[in-house]
Amino acid sequence: MRRPLCLKCGRGIASEEAELCENCRKRRFSFDFGFILLEYSDEISESIARIKYHGRREYLSFYGELSAGLIGERLLSLSLDALVPVPLHRERLRRRGYNQAELLAERIGELLKLPVYPAALRRVRNTKALKNLNPEERARDMQRAIRPGRIPESLRSVCLVDDIFTTGATVEACSSALREAGVAKIYSLCLAGRAER
């Protein structure tokens, strides 16, 4: 049985009656709402780690097809101008050789015929691994790390693309930067997120 989803971030929630997860009830986010495709599990964690740290880029083609198949129609109904991948800092990009969020966005964009704007956001600080930080530290670290990049004036409605939604700090930092640049509608799509217990 599928659990109910938070109407803001898209993660699975514990209560049948609640509309928002506890995280979204406590915090105010700049994005309109989000989609989380898969419930975070050991298998998903391993799969994403293989993509990020072991060069398994081919997994992103599968996840792009899964994304387009599961929520493609909903994404298209939002009249998006573009998909915007969450940026990597240039040092991390140099070490890894690719940005997994960008490759995922490119595959989804190819399937849904949506443009992808990887230069819309810049990561100006190389943050620590967020998994080692508490929610407040994540939010503080990320707000200083993301800035608007090259954003065409015609970009009014976008969907951010990332791999994991944990506390929402990354999506929030990106959303804030896009709002600062005048983007009116911001949605998010993350491959996986941990459901409430």
Q: Which of the four pLDDT bands, split at 50, 70 and 90, describes residue 1?
A: very low
> How many Cβ atoms sit within 10 Å of the Cβ of residue 70?
13
> Is the Cβ–Cβ distance between 20 and 6 less than 8 Å?
yes
Extents of the domains making up the chain = 22-193
CATH architecture of 22-193: 3-Layer(aba) Sandwich (3.40)
Cα(10)–Cα(160) distance, integer angstroms:
13
Instruction: Tell me: pLDDT of 129 over 90.
Output: no
The string of pLDDT tens digits covering residues 11-30 is: 999 888 899 999 999 988 99
Residue 103 has pLDDT above 60, yes or no: yes
Residues 6+ away with beta carbon under 8 Å from 73: none
pLDDT, residue 135, reads 66
Sort 95 into a burial class: Cβ within 10 Å, 0-12 / 13-18 / 19+: exposed
Closest listed residue to residue 66, CA positions, set 44, 33, 93:
44
Distance, in Å, from the CA atom of 127 to the CA atom of 87, rounded to the nearest integer, reads 12
**What are the tokens at 38?**
């898969």
